[in-house]
């Protein structure tokens, strides 16, 4: 695919960038001012590669008349204007499956970290407080807690399998019940009812118009002062200001957050809280998975160029 | 058991202390200043028939204490590890000893897995990074870590806690291997037995200490084991600090000969080597394996139930001796 003009929106991954440079005609969007770049190269760009935070929105798509494919280095493609792509006949691919385990591992890791206060206890030790103040405060058991999952897709199911090994009863909400497939999991027709019957609520659904702010003030208040929210989806899944207030007031017990509404900005108030664990969108951030994601992006681009079926098409 | 004189060595748990005070004749060792303990013990020796002690830094029950209490009948440990109790002396004197197994198994196993994920995915480090404003300062950049799922987990000691850990990591697709004094082929066909700890370490990505502490297991994680685990290996210790050669561990971590560690226990709690505090590839916890409200209540109830059974000459619930 040497003649494929690929526009990389951001330096998302060194290996991916190297391979794109080696195998295609790579343009790096961040190297020159946007308008200048588009004037010079817009006509040569046939493919765009972005990630969770940098996508092909309507304005960019309109500016690239030769665009044929958007290959996202992410599973979530909420930043890609899918309607526009469909209109223009542009293909879109993402990177599902290869990151499922990592995101699920992080969700469970965050849940245990929040309930057992692992980062907080680590800070306690590093600050010399174990010596000066004595034993750390008691926390609450993770095993057996009721885990509610919003979205029982690949990631949701992977989370469910893991928490089952801790004897956690699994509840879920999504647009359709799947009783015959998951007889052991309890379906709830609304997120509020799910929250009412869960101790740990995990966001694992895609972000789209109907799931924006799916974790509302009501949901968080229902989850309650002993409830814990785990977000490995997208920041906009949660009403962030309401969440911050609920955590500060104690109306929501705790949270483990990998994503935020306006990354890399994290609400100041969260930075000082002891009942939250905050990580910088690392859900798929392992060497193993990022390489697999990069190979999937490259595989999709190659299939496109050879007019073969795309490996993981969304559109 | 109103007439049972109980000596509590440390302020272990408020609920336990309240119940002992309510139901027995409670004496608190720490009421006496450190330099007057001997006097205190002599003054009360004739009424002390039971001792309640903790694990880790709260542990006690050595020969000196036992010898100072001629009417002692039972030592009830608020812990599953009773390595601080002089069992030989207890047997000589006909003393009973109880611990608190079972009730804390899930919590310790949860922490072991939580520490493993936290170490491999650097969760506390990432949390510090965000709180320090570095995610923003570095334009959204954070480094990569390594996957937990599918990593080979080696468990030293496939007892209650070891099995609970095995069950949990299987949910992450981790192959499980183990070392202990006797192989258990039929019972655990899915788990691979290795005949030495060094071989277990060589075949593992994550090595978990989950055995009891005794003469044979003291220092079981030696320099050789640490090096076999290697620059990408992670050690998780939810056993006892003394299971590991601590100075070797610290050196190996600092020099990169060992990839990382998740540690809930240390040789001389609450002292933690300064060198560990500076490392990003370790997660440090203040011996909180059983530190949940649910479990500590269950442990307290088990201590109380053992004491009551003893007072009523009934079979002890969880005797060690």
pLDDT confidence of residue B283: 98
Q: Could you tell me if A43 and A121 lie in one domain?
A: no
In a domain, A213, yes or no: yes
Query: Which residues in A lie closer than 8 A to residue B283 (C-beta atoms)?
Result: 118, 122
Helix, strand, or coil (residue A170):
strand
Q: Could you tell me if A274 and A203 lie in one domain?
A: yes
Fold entry, domain B105-284: Rossmann fold (3.40.50)
| Contacts for A49 with CB less than 8 Å, ≥ 6 apart | A6, A7, A8, A9, A12, A16, A20, A70, A71, A72, A73, A297, A301
Half-sphere exposure of residue A161, counting CA atoms within 13 Å on the CB side? 17
Taking each helix axis from N to C end, the angle separating A118-126 and B105-120, rounded to the nearest 10 degrees, works out to 80
- Residue B62 backbone phi and psi in degrees, to 5: -80, 175
Whether cis (ω within 30° of 0) applies to the bond prior to B270 is: yes
The two structure tokens encoding residue B21: 């005070």
In a domain, A315, yes or no: no
Q: Could you tell me if A233 and A173 lie in one domain?
A: yes
pLDDT confidence of residue B205: 98
Q: Could you tell me if A105 and A203 lie in one domain?
A: yes
Query: Which residues in A lie closer than 8 A to residue B143 (C-beta atoms)?
Result: 285
**Distance from C-alpha of A154 to C-alpha of B241, rounded to nearest angstrom:** 40
Least confident of B18-27, B46-55, B179-188, B301-310: B179-188
Angle, CA B42 vertex, CA B36 and CA B47 arms, to 5°: 125
Please determine whether the domains at B5-101+293-311 and B105-284 fall in the same fold group of CATH: yes
Instruction: Kindly tell me if the per-residue pLDDT of B315 is higher than 80.
Output: yes
| Rounded mean pLDDT, B14-38 | 95
Instruction: Kindly tell me if the per-residue pLDDT of B257 is higher than 80.
Output: yes
A59 within 8 A of A34, measured Cβ to Cβ: no
How do residues B92-143 score in pLDDT, each as one tens digit?
999 999 999 999 999 999 999 999 999 999 999 999 999 999 999 998 999 9
How do residues B178-209 score in pLDDT, each as one tens digit?
999 877 767 888 999 999 999 999 999 999 99
B214 within 8 A of B243, measured Cβ to Cβ: no
Longest dimension (CA), chain B: 70
Instruction: Kindly tell me if the per-residue pLDDT of B168 is higher than 80.
Output: yes
- Give residue B112's region: left, alpha or beta (phi > 0; psi -120 to 50): alpha
pLDDT confidence of residue A180: 84
- Which helix (H) or strand (E) segment holds residue B77: the answer is strand B74-78
Q: Could you tell me if A72 and A174 lie in one domain?
A: no
Q: Is residue A304 among the annotated active site residues?
A: no
In a domain, A198, yes or no: yes
Cα distances from B27 to residues A148, A300, B5, in angstroms, run 47, 73, 7
Per-residue confidence in pLDDT tens, chain A, 315 aa: 999 999 999 999 999 999 999 999 999 999 999 999 999 999 999 999 999 999 999 999 999 999 999 999 999 999 999 999 999 999 999 999 999 999 999 999 999 999 999 999 999 999 999 999 999 999 999 999 999 999 999 999 999 999 999 999 999 999 888 888 899 999 999 999 999 999 999 999 999 999 999 999 999 999 999 999 999 999 999 999 999 999 999 999 999 999 999 999 999 999 999 999 999 999 999 999 999 999 999 999 999 999 999 999 999
Q: Is residue B287 among the annotated active site residues?
A: yes
Which residues in chain B (34-73) have CB-CB distances under 8 A to chain A?
A: none
pLDDT confidence of residue A304: 98
Least confident of B20-24, B56-60, B145-149: B56-60
Q: Could you tell me if A129 and A225 lie in one domain?
A: yes
Other beta carbons within 10 angstroms of residue B188's beta carbon come to: 15
Q: Could you tell me if A151 and A182 lie in one domain?
A: yes
Angle, CA A102 vertex, CA A96 and CA A104 arms, to 5°: 90
Q: Is residue B125 among the annotated active site residues?
A: no
CATH number of the domain enclosing A20: 3.40.50.720
Query: Which residues in A lie closer than 8 A to residue B170 (C-beta atoms)?
Result: 165
Beta carbons of A112 and B129 less than 8 Å apart: no
**Distance from C-alpha of B244 to C-alpha of B49, rounded to nearest angstrom:** 35
In a domain, A267, yes or no: yes
Q: Could you tell me if A272 and A206 lie in one domain?
A: yes
Cα distances from B65 to residues A107, B5, B38, B68, B80, in angstroms, run 47, 15, 9, 5, 20
Name the pTM for this structure: 0.92
A232 within 8 A of A180, measured Cβ to Cβ: no
Q: Could you tell me if A223 and A241 lie in one domain?
A: yes
Q: Could you tell me if A89 and A232 lie in one domain?
A: no
Ordered by start, the domain boundaries in chain B are 5-101+293-311, 105-284
Q: How is A62-83 classified by DSSP, letter by letter? A: HH-TT--EEEEESS--TTS-HH
Q: Could you tell me if A134 and A232 lie in one domain?
A: yes
| B130 in A contact zone (CB under 8 Å) | yes
B218 within 8 A of B83, measured Cβ to Cβ: no
Q: Could you tell me if A134 and A189 lie in one domain?
A: yes
Identify the architecture of domain B5-101+293-311 in CATH.
3-Layer(aba) Sandwich (3.40)
In a domain, A88, yes or no: yes
Q: What is the number of structural domains in chain A?
A: 2
Q: A69: domain range?
A: 5-94+287-306
Instruction: Kindly tell me if the per-residue pLDDT of B57 is higher than 70.
Output: no
**Distance from C-alpha of B156 to C-alpha of B200, rounded to nearest angstrom:** 8
């Amino acid at each position: 695919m040497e003649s494929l003009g690929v526009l990389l929106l951001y330096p998302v991954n060194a290996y991916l960038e190297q391979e794109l440079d080696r195998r295609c005609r790579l343009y790096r969007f961040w190297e020159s001012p946007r308008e200048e770049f588009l004037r010079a190269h817009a006509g040569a760009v046939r493919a765009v590669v972005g990630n969770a935070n940098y996508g092909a929105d309507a304005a960019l798509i309109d500016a690239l008349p030769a665009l044929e494919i958007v290959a996202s280095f992410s599973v979530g493609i909420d930043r890609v204007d899918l309607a526009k792509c469909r209109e223009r006949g542009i293909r879109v691919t993402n990177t599902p499956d290869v990151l499922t385990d990592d995101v699920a591992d992080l969700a469970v890791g965050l849940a245990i970290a929040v309930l057992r206060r692992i980062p907080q206890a680590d800070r306690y030790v590093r600050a010399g407080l174990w010596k000066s103040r004595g034993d750390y405060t008691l926390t609450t058991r993770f095993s057996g807690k009721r885990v509610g999952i919003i979205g029982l897709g690949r990631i949701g199911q992977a989370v469910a399998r893991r928490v089952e090994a801790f004897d956690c009863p699994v509840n879920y909400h999504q647009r359709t019940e799947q009783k015959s497939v998951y007889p052991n999991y309890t379906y709830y027709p609304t997120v509020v009812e799910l929250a009412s019957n869960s101790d740990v609520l995990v966001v694992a659904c895609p972000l789209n118009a109907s799931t924006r702010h799916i974790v509302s003030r009501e949901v968080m208040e229902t989850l309650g002062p002993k409830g814990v929210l785990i977000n490995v989806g997208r920041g906009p899944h949660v009403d962030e200001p309401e969440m911050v207030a609920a955590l500060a007031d104690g109306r929501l017990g705790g949270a483990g957050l990998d994503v935020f509404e306006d990354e890399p900005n994290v609400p100041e108030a969260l930075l000082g809280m002891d009942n939250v664990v905050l990580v910088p969108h690392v859900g798929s951030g392992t060497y193993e998975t990022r390489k697999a994601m990069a190979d999937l992006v490259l595989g999709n681009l190659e299939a496109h160029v050879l007019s073969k079926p795309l490996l993981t098409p969304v559109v | 058991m109103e007439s049972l004189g109980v000596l509590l060595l440390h302020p272990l748990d408020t609920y336990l202390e309240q119940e002992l005070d309510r139901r027995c004749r409670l004496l608190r060792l720490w009421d006496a200043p450190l330099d007057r303990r001997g006097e205190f013990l002599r003054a009360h020796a004739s009424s002390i028939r039971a001792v309640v002690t903790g694990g880790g830094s709260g542990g006690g029950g050595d020969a000196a204490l036992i010898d100072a209490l001629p009417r002692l009948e039972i030592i009830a440990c608020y812990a599953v590890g009773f390595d601080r109790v002089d069992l030989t002396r207890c047997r000589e004197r006909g003393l009973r000893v109880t611990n608190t197994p079972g009730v804390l198994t899930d919590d310790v196993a949860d922490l072991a897995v939580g520490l493993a994920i936290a170490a491999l995915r650097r969760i506390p480090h990432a949390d510090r990074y965000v709180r320090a404003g570095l995610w923003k300062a570095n334009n959204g950049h954070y480094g990569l870590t390594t996957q937990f799922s599918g990593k080979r987990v080696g468990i030293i000691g496939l007892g209650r806690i070891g099995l609970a850990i095995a069950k949990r990591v299987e949910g992450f697709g981790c192959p499980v291997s183990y070392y202990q004094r006797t192989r258990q082929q039929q019972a655990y066909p899915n788990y691979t037995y290795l005949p030495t700890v060094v071989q277990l370490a060589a075949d593992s990505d994550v090595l978990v200490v989950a055995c009891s502490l005794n003469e044979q297991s003291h220092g079981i994680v030696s320099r050789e084991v640490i090096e076999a685990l290697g620059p990408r290996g992670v050690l998780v210790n939810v056993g006892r600090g003394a299971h590991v050669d601590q100075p070797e561990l610290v050196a190996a971590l600092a020099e990169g000969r060992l990839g990382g560690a998740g540690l809930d226990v240390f040789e001389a709690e609450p002292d933690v080597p300064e060198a560990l505090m500076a490392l990003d590839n370790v997660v440090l916890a203040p011996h909180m394996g059983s530190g949940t409200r649910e479990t500590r209540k269950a442990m307290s109830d088990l201590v109380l139930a053992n004491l009551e059974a003893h007072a009523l000459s009934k079979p002890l619930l969880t005797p060690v001796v």
